[in-house]
Each structure stands twice: as C-alpha cells, then as structure tokens.
Amino acid sequence: MPTTGYQLHPMTYSIPLPTVLMILALLIGGPGIVAVARTARFQKALLDFPRNRIAGIILAAVALSWAGWLINQMQVGFLEPYKWTLYLLTPLTIYLVIFYLDELLAPRALGGLLLIVPTVVLDAARWQDSTFRYIPILFAYLWIILGILLVLAPYKFRRWSNPITQSERKCRWWGWAQLVTAVLFAALGLFAF
C-alpha cells in the first residue's frame, strides 16, 4: 500500500495498556464506592442525571473536543488541507449541541464519551501479545454498543437505571459489581501486562 505524502502512526495515544487499565479502574470504581457507601445519595444523583444541564454541558464539551482532536489526528486524504476548519467547527458544534440538543443532553453526552473512550483502550491493547488483552477489548466493544444506544435513545438511561434507583439492595449490588470490575482492571494492569 503506497504511503506517499502520509505518515503512518502506529498509535494515536502513547499510553501503555497498564496505565489505561489503572485509570479505568479508578473511573469505574469511583461510582461503585459511592453506590455502596452512600446509596441514597447515589440513587438521587442517578435520578437527576438525565436532566442535569451542567453535567450535560461538561460531558458534551469533553466528548466533542475529544472527537475534534481525534479527527485532527486522522489522515483524511483530500480533506487534509481543510483540517484547520476544525478549530472553528469544534467550538461551533459544542455550542449548537448544548443549545439545540439540550433535551436529555447528559445521557447523550455520556453516550458520546462511551464511543470515544474505547479508542484509548483499543489503541493500547492492539500491540499486546497477552491473551488477557481480550478482556478490556470486550469491555470496549460493550461500551461502544452502550454509547450508540445512549446517543440514539438517551431516554433509555432512565429505564436502565430504574432498577438501581428503586431498591437500595440492587444499588449496592450494582456498586459491588462496579468495584469487582475495577479490581479486575487494576489486577490486569498490575500483573497481566
């Protein structure tokens, strides 16, 4: 395959897989700790999340900025001379999304992040020889599916979180499941790679 005029990048992010797994363990374990230790508070936050405008704005700005940065890193062939427009289009897109897609913005933006975060995991896992790399890869693809569903149908967030918000016992079980997943990721990051 000819590469004239293009520089091949083996990795978009230069973050080793153990570091990615430790960061994910913290991000997954944090809500798990809150769900177990402060169940009522966590349930209220989960109920309020879909209509939380501030969370929606922050998550949307992060997701769209990250997407703009990723597009800027890509090789886009004949569109390469127009990449400078990303510096104008990204803030414009953030503004338009925040003000015109504000209905259930928080779960929709969370879905956007769930579509982007797996790029880090997949990029780091790509060059690993261990068969344990398939565990974070499986989670990455599950997050992608969940992200697609949340972007297309953000109202499902409330449906999916209803069992957790209706029962303290189920909320604690969910929290423990999050903590077990976080420990799994931390163990993989520390010992498998």
Q: What is the pLDDT of residues 161-173, one digit of tens each?
A: 999 999 999 999 9
The percentage of the chain sitting over the pLDDT mark of 70, rounded to a whole number, equals 94
The number of folded domains in the chain is 1
Angle at CA of residue 190, ends 21 and 120, nearest 5°: 20
Average pLDDT (25-37) is 95
The percentage of the chain sitting over the pLDDT mark of 90, rounded to a whole number, equals 74
- The residue ranking higher by pLDDT, 79 or 120, is 120
Q: What is the pLDDT of residues 75-90, one digit of tens each?
A: 888 888 888 898 899 9
Q: Is residue 182 part of a domain?
A: yes
Q: Is residue 75 part of a domain?
A: no
Average pLDDT (94-111) is 93
Q: Is residue 71 part of a domain?
A: no
Please state, rounded to an integer, the average pLDDT across all residues of the chain: 90
Q: Is residue 26 part of a domain?
A: yes
Question: Residue 37 burial (CB < 10 Å; 0-12/13-18/19+)?
Answer: exposed
Q: Is residue 167 part of a domain?
A: yes
3-class secondary-structure state, position 50: helix
Residue 5 pLDDT: 55
Q: Is residue 7 part of a domain?
A: no
**What residue numbers bound the domain in which 32 lies?**
17-51+104-192
Handedness of CA 116, 120, 123, 126 (dihedral sign): negative
Q: What is the pLDDT of residues 59-70, one digit of tens each?
A: 999 999 999 998
Q: Is residue 87 part of a domain?
A: no
Residue 72 pLDDT: 87
Say yes or no to pLDDT of 8 above 80. no
